[in-house]
Chains A and B, each alone.
Chain A
Amino acid sequence: MDYSIVILALPFLMFLTLALAGNKMSQKFAGLLGTTGLLVITILSYMVTFQYFGMPRVEGVREALMPYNFEWLSFTDKLTINLGILLDPISVMMLVVITTVSLMVHIYSMGYMHGEKGFQRYYAFLSLFTFSMLGLVVATNIFQMYIFWELVGVSSYLLIGFYYTKPAAVSASKKAFIVTRFADLGFLIGILLLSFYTETFSFDQLTAEGGFFLTSTSGATFMGCSVASWAMALIFMGGAGKSAMFPLHIWLPDAMEGPTPVSALIHAATMVVAGVYLVARLFPVYLSVPDVLELITWVGAITALYAAIVACVQSDIKRVLAFSTISQIAFMMVALGVCTSMIPGEGGLGYMASMFHLFTHAMFKALLFLGAGAVIHAVHSNEMSDMGGLRKYLPITHITFLIACLAIAGIPPFSGFFSKDEILAAAFNKSTFWGVWMTVVAAITAFYMFRLYFGIFWGKEAKHEHTPHESPATMTVPLIILAVVTCVAGFIPFGEFVTSNGTAYHIHIDPVVATTSVVCAVVAILLATWLFAKPNTKPEKMQAALPKLHKWAYNRFYMDNVYQYITHKIIFARISKPIAWFDRHIIDATMDMFATVTNVAADKIKGFQSGKLQSYVWVYIVGAMVIAVAAMLIFI
């Protein structure tokens, strides 16, 4: 599969072309160029997928291929940074997800961003993002992953701040960058710790069977935990930052300031699942440190519940979707966290479930965001109060949005049901506690999604300046395609392709789990219908009954204020200010002193340069004699 290099090279080439020559092109040409390029990449990715999954299994296991892997930098004899392409079930699956969603977003943006200033720049950044994300998933070693990890961070920063004249967008992009960079600090320390003990960056060596990782770090401990646990927990911190896990989630809701298609691509389908992908990539290593796996489960479970509750009361539709994304990614994290072995039948089910949910979620969440974009496009507002009753004006958007809502709520036969059911089954496998917890979260999910759905398409109609109208075909076609995928994706025999140890696993629906979750979801939907389908006063009454909870949830449990307090009151006031004082009064003053001394000295000695030859010779001869006498005194 030598042509797989083209999948990486082409988007980078597109980026260079659009970035350097974009201003000389017309908007239409730039958009078409970017989209055509991506179409080629998508086709190539599908070819890779068919070819890869068409290969026979070796001893019942899907083999990892490495068409390219060259040494780029060498630190020591053993430790080198390589750049290459790794094809294994999850990276191939990610190729499909990224290129599909990216292609949809490229097409959709031609309509959505039509006539925007900086249209060419937008497409250039999209290409840069696609390149970085593809490079991330096919990385052969953790350092290559880290490089592309930062590149997606940069592209995300550039795209969130696309409307750079809008102060909110600028601060949101900064927030996203700083928070994820902070998490990546942990990631980097984790990588260095890991490579220090194992003397390798390469994934195939790290995840090799036989506990290579554990034996090389055995014995070393730090603050009561083994170094292995520390390294893996720090690496997870990087993943938690990128995947917006509590408490590092604060950047994602603000990131919605970017153009909506960008939110669909980066902040719903691809980049934010990089953290899940990272844990899945190092899955055998994480299995060998159960305490970190426990941590992942807790972080995921708390995030899922927290984000679901907050999503129930938000009024900005993109923020509802953002919190829903956080909650759904947390589902995937929990699914990985509850695993206990590599064998998919006994304790390794969560791995498959997590990847399956990643796949289906990418499709229906992209659909939701693109649908939300169509709504925003029609009413020019993000607020639910400006919407309502839109089903008459936006029929295609309405139907596709409903399909996505049903999918995320876990109603059969839509894709979300199948993947979520596997996650719940995996959680129940581990313990009833986690099973019940996640089922409750799933019910809340159904509730807030239908609150959103009714709020937009039913309920009281808001006044519009002009009658909302359906979007152009460039926007509706991607919606339809994604809706079709959402309808059928659940029937993909996912266990045939992706499992924890590469063997085939036949998905079977656990009737008890499935029934419970569907009943819970239906009840939640009915509750939402009762509350929001028709204009009434019940929501206000509920709000009045639980004023504290509503206020806290609406303000996202004041997490942003906590950060504000920590950064401003503690870090800026107690740490930064003294350092700034030291810098200004000690370091700068020392430099000023040097300058003053130099100037004074320069002034004092200028008399030597009198222009008189006699005095020059005098200095010359005296200088020579002084040196000679001094040398004689020293050496004789």
Chain B
Amino acid sequence: MNYAEFLGMGAEMTLMVVIILLFIYDTFAPSKCGKYLPITAITLLGIQTLYLAFGNFADVSLFGGMYISGSAEQVAKIILNIGTILVFIQAASWVKDGDMQIRRGEYYVLTLITLLGMYFMMSAQNFLLFFLGLETASLPMTALVAIEKYKQNSYEAAAKYLFFAVFSSALMLLGMSYIYGVTGTLYYNGILSNITASPLTILAVVLFIAGMGFKLSLVPFHLWTADVYQGAPTVVTSYLSVISKGAAAYAFMMVLKDAFGTADLVWLTVMYAIIILTITVGNLFAIRQQNIKRFLAFSSISQAGYIMLGIMACNAHGATSLLYYVLVYIFSNIAAFAVAGAIERASGKLNISDYDGLYKTNPKLSVAMMLAMFSLAGIPPFAGFFSKFFIFYSAIETGTTGMYILVFIALLNTIISLYYYLLVVKAMFLKDSEAPIATIKSDGYTKAVVFITVAGIILLGLVSWVYDYIYGMVI
């Protein structure tokens, strides 16, 4: 084995360095320096992101083709890093609270380890590496969900998450073993040339989709989502709902394309049904939610359905619109979670009805929340409109009637989603409340994350070269 090949994995190695540095800092720095941990983590990750964005990377294929990294993976990792940085900024005030203080080191290190796992997932060209990446991402995530361990919600959520993760991993492993049995290899390109549409392969593909369906919370593999999102600390939920989902979506696309590309008719059909189910069921549940975190959980389920539309196109536009959608979704959803988290920390209130009359007391937070809702619903000229536009366009571009019907159903669902997103806006702006939430004095970190995400919501759509940039990297 040529150990020098490890150095070819630029993104993973640098992230590992960041993790180790943070770990050393947390362990050995004098306790009064602890409060600088958030800013250190943000800075280090920022530097690593800049390195990824501007460093000179060649396309590599390492360990006998088990690992690849090209410009597409590069841009996907950058997008995840941006999201993670935003979550870190959002977390900075939360980790100062009460007993979180003694665990803040764990929070940052564990989060970055899950990110490392996602990197491997996205760069894998072999099911073994893919599975290792998946587990590296899943297990520390359980610890993150349980990080507020004295709160019952938190560890109940962690138990459910852990159980579901293990269960779906087991099923996915079963599927992979069938694949190995049929094709005799775990390399994507080997599978691609040997796979045939036998019953066993179909079962294997469905089991794989079910496993990924858990990570992406696609219907009917989504039932854990609301409970876990509600129970986990808000910052973790926002990480779980955007970063984890974005990474899984990209890795999922790579596997379907690179490993199962020759059996695309099978998974296209299966995904077709799953997308319709996901978008519709997610929406129908979202309408009924009272708790803002559960509400955002179901909204994220339906958003995942839209993201999956990018997979259906099977071309560069599909991949680009998928990544672009993830990027926009990161900004919109983190904005929503940042506002919800700020209100939760200040008042402990989490119900949508508690937001009545919020505009009168907290106009800035309300406007930020409104823009997040508009973007999630896809109202022009906000970024969410453009991401939906591109992802619908990439699906329409295939030109088949089935795709037109799929996009039409997705469009109908955006109307339903508009209804429940606007319910939140209505509560904040139009309803009056006898006891509205008192004016919140946010700290600098909350202000920063709200400001950046709102700027992103407004600018990402209008600055047209973002899409072109991603397209140039993916093609």
Please classify the interface of chain A as helix (H, G, I), strand (E, B), loop, or mixed, using the class held by over half of its residues.
helix
A214 to B374, CA, bound (A): 52
B269 engages A620 (CB within 8 Å): no
With contacts A620-B221, A631-B202, A635-B202 taken as known, whether A611 is within 8 angstroms of B269 at the C-beta atoms is: no
Whether, in the assembled complex, B266 has its beta carbon less than 8 Å from a beta carbon of chain A, the answer is yes
Whether, in the assembled complex, A58 has its beta carbon less than 8 Å from a beta carbon of chain B, the answer is no
A603 engages B288 (CB within 8 Å): yes
Tell me the A562-602 residues at the B interface (CB within 8 Å): 594-595, 598-599, 601-602
Q: Chain A residues with Cβ under 8 A from B100's Cβ?
A: none
With contacts A609-B226, A624-B210 taken as known, whether A632 is within 8 angstroms of B171 at the C-beta atoms is: no
Whether, in the assembled complex, B197 has its beta carbon less than 8 Å from a beta carbon of chain A, the answer is yes
Nearest-Cβ distance from residue A619 to partner chain B, whole angstroms: 5
With contacts A598-B287, A609-B226, A627-B274 taken as known, whether A632 is within 8 angstroms of B221 at the C-beta atoms is: no
A631 to B227, CA, bound (A): 30
Whether, in the assembled complex, B273 has its beta carbon less than 8 Å from a beta carbon of chain A, the answer is yes
In addition to A624-B171, A631-B205, 9 A-B residue pairs with Cβ atoms within 8 Å of each other are: A594-B415, A594-B416, A598-B283, A605-B281, A606-B288, A613-B160, A616-B164, A620-B164, A624-B221
- One digit per residue, 1 when the CB lies within 8 angstroms of any chain A CB and 0 when it does not, for chain B 196-226 equals 0111001101110110001000011101101
A609 to B287, CA, bound (A): 14
- One digit per residue, 1 when the CB lies within 8 angstroms of any chain B CB and 0 when it does not, for chain A 609-636 equals 1010101110111111001101110111
Interface size class of B (residues with CB under 8 A): 35 or more
A621 to B287, CA, bound (A): 26
A86 to B289, CA, bound (A): 63
A620 engages B220 (CB within 8 Å): yes
B273 engages A632 (CB within 8 Å): no
Whether, in the assembled complex, A433 has its beta carbon less than 8 Å from a beta carbon of chain B, the answer is no
Whether, in the assembled complex, B265 has its beta carbon less than 8 Å from a beta carbon of chain A, the answer is yes
Nearest-Cβ distance from residue A629 to partner chain B, whole angstroms: 9
Q: Which 3 A-B pairs have the closest CB atoms?
A: A623-B220, A616-B223, A628-B206
A623 to B210, CA, bound (A): 9
Please classify the interface of chain B as helix (H, G, I), strand (E, B), loop, or mixed, using the class held by over half of its residues.
helix
Whether, in the assembled complex, A608 has its beta carbon less than 8 Å from a beta carbon of chain B, the answer is yes
A602 engages B206 (CB within 8 Å): no
Can you give 10 A-B contacts (C-beta < 8 A)?
A595-B419, A603-B288, A605-B281, A606-B285, A613-B164, A624-B206, A624-B221, A627-B270, A631-B205, A635-B202
Whether, in the assembled complex, B284 has its beta carbon less than 8 Å from a beta carbon of chain A, the answer is yes
Whether, in the assembled complex, B167 has its beta carbon less than 8 Å from a beta carbon of chain A, the answer is yes
With contacts A611-B227, A624-B206 taken as known, whether A634 is within 8 angstroms of B285 at the C-beta atoms is: no
Name the one of B171, B205, B284 contacting A605, with C-beta atoms under 8 angstroms: B284
- One digit per residue, 1 when the CB lies within 8 angstroms of any chain A CB and 0 when it does not, for chain B 382-399 equals 000000000000000000
Whether, in the assembled complex, B163 has its beta carbon less than 8 Å from a beta carbon of chain A, the answer is yes
With contacts A613-B163, A628-B202, A631-B266 taken as known, whether A619 is within 8 angstroms of B220 at the C-beta atoms is: yes
Q: Chain B residues with Cβ under 8 A from A636's Cβ?
A: 197-199, 202
Tell me the B111-130 residues at the A interface (CB within 8 Å): none
A620 engages B206 (CB within 8 Å): no
A636 to B200, CA, bound (A): 11
B223 engages A619 (CB within 8 Å): yes
A632 engages B202 (CB within 8 Å): yes
Residue of B nearest to A600 (CB): B284
B287 engages A602 (CB within 8 Å): yes
B288 engages A628 (CB within 8 Å): no
* Interface-centre pick from B205, B223, B281, B419 (highest chain A CB count, 10 A): B223
A112 to B207, CA, bound (A): 83
* Interface-centre pick from A598, A619, A630 (highest chain B CB count, 10 A): A598
Name the one of B167, B199, B416 contacting A632, with C-beta atoms under 8 angstroms: B199
A631 to B171, CA, bound (A): 18
A623 to B221, CA, bound (A): 8
With contacts A627-B273, A636-B197 taken as known, whether A620 is within 8 angstroms of B223 at the C-beta atoms is: yes
Name the one of B167, B274, B283, B419 contacting A617, with C-beta atoms under 8 angstroms: B167
With contacts A598-B416, A611-B227, A623-B221 taken as known, whether A631 is within 8 angstroms of B285 at the C-beta atoms is: no
Residue of B nearest to A599 (CB): B287
Q: Chain A residues with Cβ under 8 A from B205's Cβ?
A: 631
A325 to B188, CA, bound (A): 83
B223 engages A608 (CB within 8 Å): yes
Residue of B nearest to A611 (CB): B227
Residue of A nearest to B281 (CB): A605
Residue of B nearest to A608 (CB): B223
B203 engages A632 (CB within 8 Å): yes
Nearest-Cβ distance from residue A615 to partner chain B, whole angstroms: 8
- One digit per residue, 1 when the CB lies within 8 angstroms of any chain A CB and 0 when it does not, for chain B 246-281 equals 000000000000000000011001100110000001
A635 engages B266 (CB within 8 Å): yes
Residue of B nearest to A595 (CB): B419
B284 engages A598 (CB within 8 Å): yes
Nearest-Cβ distance from residue B28 to partner chain A, whole angstroms: 41
A620 engages B210 (CB within 8 Å): yes
A172 to B439, CA, bound (A): 46
Q: Chain A residues with Cβ under 8 A from B226's Cβ?
A: 609
A50 to B273, CA, bound (A): 75
A602 engages B223 (CB within 8 Å): no
Name the one of A594, A606, A631 contacting B206, with C-beta atoms under 8 angstroms: A631
A631 engages B207 (CB within 8 Å): no
A605 to B209, CA, bound (A): 23
* Interface-centre pick from B269, B281, B283, B284 (highest chain A CB count, 10 A): B284
- One digit per residue, 1 when the CB lies within 8 angstroms of any chain A CB and 0 when it does not, for chain B 125-141 equals 00000000000000000
Q: Chain A residues with Cβ under 8 A from B221's Cβ?
A: 620, 623-624
Q: Chain B residues with Cβ under 8 A from A606's Cβ?
A: 285, 288
* Interface-centre pick from B163, B198, B220 (highest chain A CB count, 10 A): B220
Nearest-Cβ distance from residue B318 to partner chain A, whole angstroms: 22
A631 engages B284 (CB within 8 Å): no
Nearest-Cβ distance from residue B33 to partner chain A, whole angstroms: 42
A627 to B288, CA, bound (A): 27
Q: Chain B residues with Cβ under 8 A from A603's Cβ?
A: 288
Q: Chain A residues with Cβ under 8 A from B265's Cβ?
A: 635
With contacts A624-B210, A627-B273, A634-B269 taken as known, whether A609 is within 8 angstroms of B197 at the C-beta atoms is: no
Q: Chain B residues with Cβ under 8 A from A627's Cβ?
A: 206, 209-210, 270, 273-274
- One digit per residue, 1 when the CB lies within 8 angstroms of any chain A CB and 0 when it does not, for chain B 224-235 equals 101100000000
* Interface-centre pick from A595, A605, A608, A632 (highest chain B CB count, 10 A): A632
A608 to B277, CA, bound (A): 14
